[in-house]
Structure 1
């Protein structure tokens, strides 16, 4: 069974994410920036959420978006900043660990069926 994806989330003018290969490699990279980036990340793409935040449908970021947010249209420059300043999110696979609660229990409490 494969492990769930691990995302590093960065809050800028918009919300950006990159996917890393393992938590251990990421933590090692944060301690020692001489660790090759290829040991931490295998997909050199930056994503953003359509609805904002760290969940929802992700789209690949355009070169113009990279330029506006990170000052460079190179994905690698953005990835380096996201890895350095971002926050790791391990629960990115939907509702598996989400807690649900009702927000309007009293609305139908007096109704008879």
Structure 2
């Protein structure tokens, strides 16, 4: 079994674009919403803001440009934008099931003799 994982992202629908950030720890994020002393680094996956070009949370993820951040949030400072997305956005959870299958076909009974 390989690759079972859960992905959590926060989606913010802006006036021009949809913005997304990924988080690692949903429980810590929920705690942060009521206790802002918790460092963002404890639950934010990467300090990178993605834009989906009005395709919602499921669209193609491109890095948001400084201009896009400036026009939507009034700043291009990543920390401030991430905080705004975390405060105003919606959590989207998706799980990726485990993949099963042969791990190494060159060994064992699967090899034709």
Provide structure 2 residue ranges, at least 5 long, that are not aligned to the other structure: 98-113
TM norm structure 1: 0.75
Bigger strand share: 2
Q: What RMSD in Å do the two structures reach over aligned CA positions?
A: 1.8
In 2, Cα distance between equivalents of 1:2 and 1:68? 38
Per the alignment, residue 31 of structure 2 pairs with 28
**Deviating runs (4+, > 3 A) in structure 1?**
none
Per the alignment, residue 75 of structure 2 pairs with 72
TM norm structure 2: 0.75
Show the 5 A alignment for 1:87-102: 87-91=90-94
2:5–2:95 Cα contact (<8 Å) kept: no
Which structure would you say has the larger RCO, counting Cα contacts within 8 Å and 6 or more residues apart?
2
Count how many residue pairs are aligned between Structure 1 and Structure 2. 94
Provide structure 1 residue ranges, at least 5 long, that are not aligned to the other structure: 97-113
In 2, Cα distance between equivalents of 1:38 and 1:4? 19
